[in-house]
């Protein structure tokens, strides 16, 4: 079978007349270092070295980037062809100067290829990064040994453990790029060819980064380990990276490479890396709706109704995506407040230097406040973002009917109301869809597009394109109560634990040891115990699973907002256990006949999260999600489910479905029929039979796309 990718070869004449071989990585769409590219390098380097006319070599990439690193899709299917570390050693050992011409991204193995070159010439728009840590890996082709020899150990630790790319000017500042060139790809390539030609005859020995050892320059490795144990809590890759970088400072290159190879191998075959590779593809796959062929409509102008927290956040996202935005609120006071919040958010961005004032001015120029519906007349999509009241929403959608142009997408940001009921308020139900953003909309990445049974294929395609345009991780989900993220996370076993004898800190400690950024008690304190407590007190519909939270509300313990909830908070919102809260909880248990208990972390995690897995299977069974990975994406991006577990469904796969079923039954939970079917037929979640089973459920609940 023909190998994917290649390295193109041509010869150019530099300004000083020297002949330079140009090797171009060519593997659409991002020049991932597939077997064909790695084999191509071996052949083309040998060709260039054997050609007496060639005096120097330039390496570059096609398809608008340098290289996005190793081909992640090869990891699972097995690697053929020469290993990347060997290829890079061959590049570095070249007796003719080798210069990287970088335009676009040079990431992971791509950055390591550039480090194997003797010099690096980059365009002003290029970026260099070693993001392997985000895949639960480390730079496994010499990056942990060469980079510290170039920029020092301390800078290397932060660069690799944060996994964020450097822009061209930053990369030049630390010495990763030798020179940065303005202009297009052709200009960068010409500059690199001339640069290489000027190096002919120079001593390239010192330019080979595999020489000597890295400058440790007073790095406290133990302190760095602690720093990243907090910053990337529970992740194993950062610790392995620090081990490799430490090795680069106290042993020569080949010995350091042995450490890198050993640590890389441990990570590659560990659960975290498998889960993170799975999530890398899952967050891209969710944007693809199986069977959807309709083309999206235009998306130049967006109207948002409701200038509250959600409406303002959505307006920011749309304007940052370059759309003209009408932010409508019939109440001028709400509108002024909403615009003031947006301005304050951007002022903070300028203070933090995450945006320049001119960027903010451009964004703000796209947002037009309005108090009248006729301002929506030219919008391509309108998003209703008022509070959760069905009658009000239906009235707004009736107004849309009167003013919005034909083909305008009529979206609601409701977090749980029935999309089809809202659609029934219009004469154009085919144009109606849910666009459920997560709060705050200008921060949270998840967008659940909720399809009503009558939403047309064009409406779906346009809503999916809208999510992409706003750089959201966008999933198409079913019109069920809570949609996906809120539905599955809403059945976590939190209430059983807090009402059944476990104190807040016991539950949170276990959840945070599993990798949740914030345990459920802290999360409730953040969201506010009064949010639903007040409603239940007013309507008198307290339920057995809300007795503790309702007692908190009754005792004026609302959480962070008034300094006391499950915990107490100082003026910097630092929390501590609160004996008063715990006494109150004990008294509620006593009245309810519950007694204090202790459980192992594993038991608490199972009680919290196995019901989430079970609900995920029910969503698939009912055709409310098209694939298990969409459920994982919704939990990771909507609820900060720890990414390195891959999400609830991937976690269940790793544990093993028979074990999950057994635990659910032991807990007294009613397992979903689909889960039982999987265990009976020994289906894995990526098996063809399982995929066929759930896609018939998914397509069965929709009118044809
Ligand atoms: N391998 C395989 N496919 C890749 C890929 C990769 N490295 N990077 C991107 N793709 C696919 C992606 O799945 C999608 O496919 C298409 O390209 C466009 O991507 C030895 C071990 C480069 C910034 O972690 O950060 O090197 O959905 O939608 O928004 O030390 O892709 O079209 O079928 O993201 O313009 C380290 C990962 C690898 C970089 C472009 N490298 N990629 O973003 O497009 S491990 C990375 C990205 C490694 C070495 C180690 C981004 C991007 P499809 P996209 P984009």
Pair 84, 167 in one domain: yes
DSSP assignment string, 15-60: TTS-EEEEEEEE-TTTT-B-HHHHHHHHHHHHHHHH-TTEEEEEEE
Instruction: Look at residue 214 and tell me whether its pLDDT is greater than 90.
Output: no
Q: 525 and 587: one domain?
A: yes
Is residue 8 included in any domain, yes or no?
yes
578 φψ region: left (φ > 0), alpha (ψ -120 to 50), beta (else)? beta
Same domain, 444 and 540: no
**Is 195 contained in some domain?**
yes
Considering the domain architecture, whether residues 199 and 89 belong to the same structural domain is answered as yes
Q: Which of 28, 72, 282 to mutate to test the pocket of ligand 1 (most atoms within 8 A of CB)?
A: 72
Ligand 1 midpoint to CA 30 (Å):
7
The number of beta carbons lying within 10 Å of the beta carbon of residue 389 is 11
In a domain, 240, yes or no: yes
- CATH number, domain of 117, equals 3.90.226.10
**Residue 89: inside a domain, yes or no?**
yes
Query: Are 69 and 161 within one domain?
Result: yes
Instruction: Determine the structural domain holding residue 143 and report its residue range.
Output: 2-268
Report pLDDT for 702.
62
Burial of 126 (0-12, 13-18, 19+ CB in 10 A): buried
Kindly give the distance from the C-alpha atom of residue 280 to the centroid of ligand 1, in angstroms, as a whole number. Answer: 8
> Ligand 1, closest atom to CA 138?
30
- The mean pLDDT of 414-430, rounded to a whole number, is 95
Atom of ligand 1 nearest to the CA of 107: 41
pLDDT tier, 4 (very low <50, low <70, confident <90, very high otherwise)? confident
pLDDT for res 701: 61
Are 263 and 395 in a shared domain? no
- Nearest-atom number in ligand 1 for the CA of 75 is 21
pLDDT for position 533: 83
Domain termination site, one of 571, 592, 613: 592
The whole-number average pLDDT for the span 104-124 is: 98
For the segment 465-484, the average pLDDT, to the nearest whole number, is 96
Domain annotation covers residue 375:
yes
Asked if residue 408 and residue 541 are part of one domain, the reply reads: no
For residue 215, cis peptide bond before it (omega within 30 degrees of 0): no
- Give the pLDDT band of residue 705 (cuts 50, 70, 90): low
Q: How far is the CA of 395 from the centre of ligand 1 (A)?
A: 45
Claim to verify: residue 412 and residue 264 sit in the same structural domain: no
What band does 1 get if pLDDT is binned at 50, 70 and 90? Answer: low
Report the distance separating Cα 48 and Cα 20, nearest Å: 9
Residue 385 shares a structural domain with residue 309: yes
Q: Report the separation in Å between the CA atom of 520 and the middle of ligand 1, taken as the mean of its atom positions.
A: 34
Pocket of ligand 1, candidates 69, 156, 263, 467: which has the most ligand atoms within 8 Å of its Cβ, to mutate?
69
CA atoms of 174 and 184, how far apart (whole Å) = 23
Residue 676 included in any domain: no
In this prediction, residues 249-262 reach a mean pLDDT of: 96
Residue nearest to atom 47 of ligand 1 (CA): 68
* Residues lining ligand 1, Cβ inside 6 A: 29-30, 32, 68-73, 84, 105, 107-109, 112, 131-132, 135, 137, 139-141, 143, 284
Write the DSSP symbol of residue 595. Answer: -
Average pLDDT score over residue span 47-61: 98
Q: Are 156 and 133 in contact (CB under 8 A)?
A: no
- The answer to whether residue 217 scores a pLDDT higher than 80 is no
Spell out the residues 6+ positions from residue 340 whose beta carbon is closer than 8 angstroms to its own. Answer: none
* Same domain (yes/no): 398, 506: no
Residues 584-622: tens digit of each pLDDT: 999 999 999 999 999 999 999 999 999 999 999 999 999
Whether residue 702 is contained in a domain is answered as no
Q: Which of 465, 466, 471, 432 is nearest to 451 (CA)?
A: 432
Q: What is the CATH number of the domain that holds 378?
A: 3.40.50.720
Residue 78: Cβ within 10 Å count? 7
Output the domain CATH number for residue 505.
Answer: 1.10.1040.50
Count of C-beta atoms within a 10 Å radius of residue 49 = 16
Pick the last residue of a domain from 422, 443, 477.
Answer: 477
Substitution site in 34, 37, 68, 71 for ligand 1 pocket (most atoms within 8 Å of beta carbon): 68
Closest CA to 632 of 618, 649, 615: 649
- Distance in Å, CA 591 to ligand 1 centroid: 56
> How far is Cα 692 from Cα 684, in angstroms, rounded to an integer?
12
Has residue 683 got a pLDDT over 60? yes
Q: How confident is the model at residue 197 (pLDDT cuts 50, 70, 90)?
A: very high
- In this structure, of 133-137, 532-536, 633-637, 692-696, the range with the lowest mean pLDDT score is 532-536
pLDDT of 155 > 60? The answer is yes
Among 224, 244, 268, the domain boundary falls at: 268
Q: Is the pLDDT assigned to residue 490 strictly greater than 60?
A: yes
Q: If pLDDT is split at 50, 70 and 90, which confidence band does 291 have?
A: confident
Q: Report residue 541's pLDDT band, with 50, 70 and 90 as the boundaries.
A: confident
The residues annotated with a catalytic role in the active site are 112, 132
Both 109 and 9 in a single domain?
A: yes
| Average pLDDT of span 549-566 | 94
Mean pLDDT for all residues in the chain: 95
Number of domains observed in the structure of the chain: 3
Question: 75 C-alpha vs ligand 1 centroid, how far in Å?
Answer: 13
Contact 549, 523 (CB under 8 A): no
Q: Are residues 247 and 105 in the same domain?
A: yes
**445 in a domain, yes or no?**
yes
């Amino acid at each position: 079978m023909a190998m994917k990718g290649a390295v193109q070869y041509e010869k150019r004449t530099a300004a000083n007349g020297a002949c330079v071989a140009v090797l171009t990585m060519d593997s659409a769409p991002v020049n991932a270092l597939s077997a064909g590219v790695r084999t191509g390098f071996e052949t083309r380097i040998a060709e260039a070295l054997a050609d007496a006319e060639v005096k120097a070599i330039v390496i570059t990439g096609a398809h608008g980037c340098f290289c996005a690193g190793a081909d992640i899709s090869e990891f699972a299917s097995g690697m053929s062809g020469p290993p990347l570390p060997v290829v890079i050693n061959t590049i570095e050992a070249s007796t003719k100067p080798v210069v990287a011409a970088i335009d676009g991204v040079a990431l992971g193995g791509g950055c390591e290829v550039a480090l194997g070159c003797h010099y690096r010439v980059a365009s002003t728009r290029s970026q260099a990064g070693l993001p392997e840590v985000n895949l639960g890996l480390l730079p496994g082709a010499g990056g942990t040994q060469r980079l510290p020899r170039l920029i020092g150990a301390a800078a290397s630790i932060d660069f690799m453990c944060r996994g964020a790319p450097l822009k061209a000017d930053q990369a030049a500042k630390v010495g990763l790029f030798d020179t940065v060139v303005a202009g297009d790809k052709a200009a960068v390539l010409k500059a690199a060819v001339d640069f290489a030609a000027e190096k002919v005859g120079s001593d390239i020995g010192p330019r080979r980064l595999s020489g000597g050892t890295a400058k440790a320059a007073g790095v406290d490795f133990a302190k760095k380990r602690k720093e990243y144990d907090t910053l990337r809590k529970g992740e194993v890759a950062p610790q392995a990276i620090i081990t490799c970088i430490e090795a680069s400072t106290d042993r020569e290159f080949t010995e350091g490479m042995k450490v890198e190879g050993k640590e890389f191998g441990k990570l590659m075959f560990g659960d975290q890396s498998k889960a993170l590779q799975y999530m890398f593809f899952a967050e891209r796959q969710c944007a693809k709706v199986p069977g959807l062929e309709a083309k999206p409509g235009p998306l130049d102008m967006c109207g948002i109704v409701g200038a509250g927290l959600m409406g303002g956040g959505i307006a920011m996202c749309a304007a940052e995506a370059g759309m003209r935005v009408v932010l409508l609120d019939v109440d001028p006071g709400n509108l002024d407040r909403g615009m003031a919040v947006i301005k304050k958010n951007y002022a903070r961005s300028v203070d933090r230097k995450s945006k320049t004032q001119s960027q903010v001015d451009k964004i703000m120029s796209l947002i037009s406040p309005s108090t009248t519906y006729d301002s929506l007349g030219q919008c391509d999509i309108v998003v209703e973002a008022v509070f959760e009241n069905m009658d009000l929403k239906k009235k707004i959608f009736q107004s849309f009917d009167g003013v919005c142009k034909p083909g305008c997408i009529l979206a609601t940001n409701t977090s749980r109301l029935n999309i089809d009921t809202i659609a029934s308020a219009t004469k154009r139900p085919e144009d109606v869809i849910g666009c459920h953003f997560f709060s705050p909309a200008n921060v949270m990445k998840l967008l659940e597009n909720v399809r009503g049974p009558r939403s047309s294929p064009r409406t779906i395609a346009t809503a999916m394109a809208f999510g992409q345009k706003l750089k959201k991780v966008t999933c198409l989900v079913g019109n069920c109560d809570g949609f996906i993220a809120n539905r599955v996370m809403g059945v976590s076993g939190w209430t059983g634990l807090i009402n059944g004898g476990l104190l807040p800190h016991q539950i949170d400690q276990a959840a945070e040891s599993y990798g949740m950024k914030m345990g459920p008690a802290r999360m409730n304190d953040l969201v506010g115990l009064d949010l639903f407590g007040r409603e239940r007190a007013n309507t008198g519909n307290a339920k057995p699973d809300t007795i503790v939270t309702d007692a908190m509300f009754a005792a004026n313990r609302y959480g962070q907002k008034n300094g006391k909830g499950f915990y107490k908070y100082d003026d910097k919102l630092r929390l501590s256990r609160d004996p008063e809260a715990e006494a109150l909880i004990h008294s509620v248990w006593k009245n309810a006949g519950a007694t204090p208990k202790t459980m192992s972390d594993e038991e608490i995690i199972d009680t919290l999260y196995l019901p989430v897995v079970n609900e995920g299977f029910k969503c698939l069974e009912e055709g409310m999600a098209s694939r298990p990975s969409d459920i994982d994406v919704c939990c990771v991006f909507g609820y900060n489910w720890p990414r390195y577990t891959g999400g609830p469904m991937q976690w269940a796969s790793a544990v093993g479905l028979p074990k999950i079923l057994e635990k659910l039954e032991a807990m007294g939970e009613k397992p979903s029929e689909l889960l039982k079917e999987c265990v009976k037929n020994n289906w894995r979640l990526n098996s063809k039979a399982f995929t066929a089973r759930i896609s018939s459920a998914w397509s069965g609940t929709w009118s044809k796309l």
